[in-house]
Amino acid sequence: MRADVRSVRVGLLGAGNVVESIHLPVLASLDGVSVAWVCDTDTARARALASTYSLPRAFGSLDDCPDVDVVLVAIPVGARRGALETILARGWHAFCEKPFAPTLEDHEWIVAEARRRKVRLGIGLVRRHYASVKTARELVDAGVLGPLEVILGGEGARVRHTGRGGDWYQANAHASGGGVLFEAGAHLVDQIFTIARVDDYRIDRCSQRVLKGIEFETSVRGSVIVDGGRPVPLGMVVSQVSDVYGGIVMRCANGELRLGATASGATEIYGRHGRITGRLGGSASEGAAFNAAVRAEWREFVDSCARSVEFSDWDTGLRTTAFIEACYRFNGARAERVSGVGS
């Protein structure tokens, strides 16, 4: 089914916090878009959300949902396969909250099935729509500071407890995808790959800290392939047990670019001697900047559905999924046990 940008019907699969606080407010205000229903196995929560936002209908099963043009898939990643089989079979375009799939095999199956069914896929890796990421990508493309020489990325801080109970989906490794690398790491990897237009990668070292099957820290050393074959060293850390630098550094021959993890942050330009020489962008309001990025990703996806059912690997973050899975496989049984992380 091809979505018409002038009247796009959207269904919401999942009635959790990410739908209620992030996607639904934007969709409710997006021109040419109407939310037709919300579906969740917790029917009481689905009905409550429908009532709050005056949505027409709420359901407990996808089998009962009427046809729409686009479905937001915002249920835990480990529970999506069956739902996506139904969504794609019914000819609905699917916009999946990140992470896209629990494994590369699942990701590739979803992509192949969508192409067979002639529907489009998208992913909620919202940081690729941050102004700082777009600016950094333009500067790297233009070669303002010369060719890339090193890429560094980090995110996280020591977390002594999550503040969540046993029903929190991240407490289940299968449901959440495995840990912090899938959660915060998916964004960080996608930002790096987007800015540098990464063609491929190589992992030389990867260490992880794991507790009860859930990974709380990953450190990676390797390289990414850019410019059709040139390797650039890469170092990255994502953690919930250590305080790490939060942001991305793109070190070039004649200086470096630095940007943080926030939507409102600026792209900073540093000279060869480490002194800041310029700041591009930046916003006083994190909330407004983040909402603008969510709006941009939805506008881009809705408009693309109206134009064509063709999509690229980048549209679904396929290379990001492959990189994350490669990190888990590389580490394998060498994961270090970590203590002191409670619920």
Domain with residues 8-126, CATH architecture: 3-Layer(aba) Sandwich (3.40)
* pLDDT, average across residues 22-33: 94
Is 324 within 8 Å of 182 (Cβ atoms)?
yes
Total Cβ atoms within 10 A of residue 17: 9
Q: What is the pLDDT of residues 129-147, one digit of tens each?
A: 999 999 999 999 999 999 9
DSSP-derived pairing of the beta strands 93-97 and 230-239: unpaired
Give dist(CA 113, CA 272) in Å, integer: 48
pLDDT digits (tens, 9 = 90+) for 187-245: 999 999 999 999 999 999 999 998 877 889 999 999 999 988 999 999 999 999 888 88
Q: What is the mean pLDDT of residues 116-131?
A: 97
Domain segments of the chain as ranges: 8-126, 130-285+320-337
The tokens 């009635």 sit on which residue? 15
Side chain identity at residue 162, one-letter code: T
Q: Phi and psi of 77, rounded to 5°?
A: -60, -30
Amino acid 309: pLDDT: 93
Q: What is the CATH number of domain 130-285+320-337?
A: 3.30.360.10
Q: What percent of the chain has pLDDT over 70?
A: 89
Q: Looking at residue 160, what is its pLDDT?
A: 63
Supply the pLDDT for residue 307.
93
State the average pLDDT over residues 105-113. Answer: 96
Higher pLDDT: 156 or 162? It is 156
Report residue 314: phi and psi, to 5°.
Answer: -60, -35
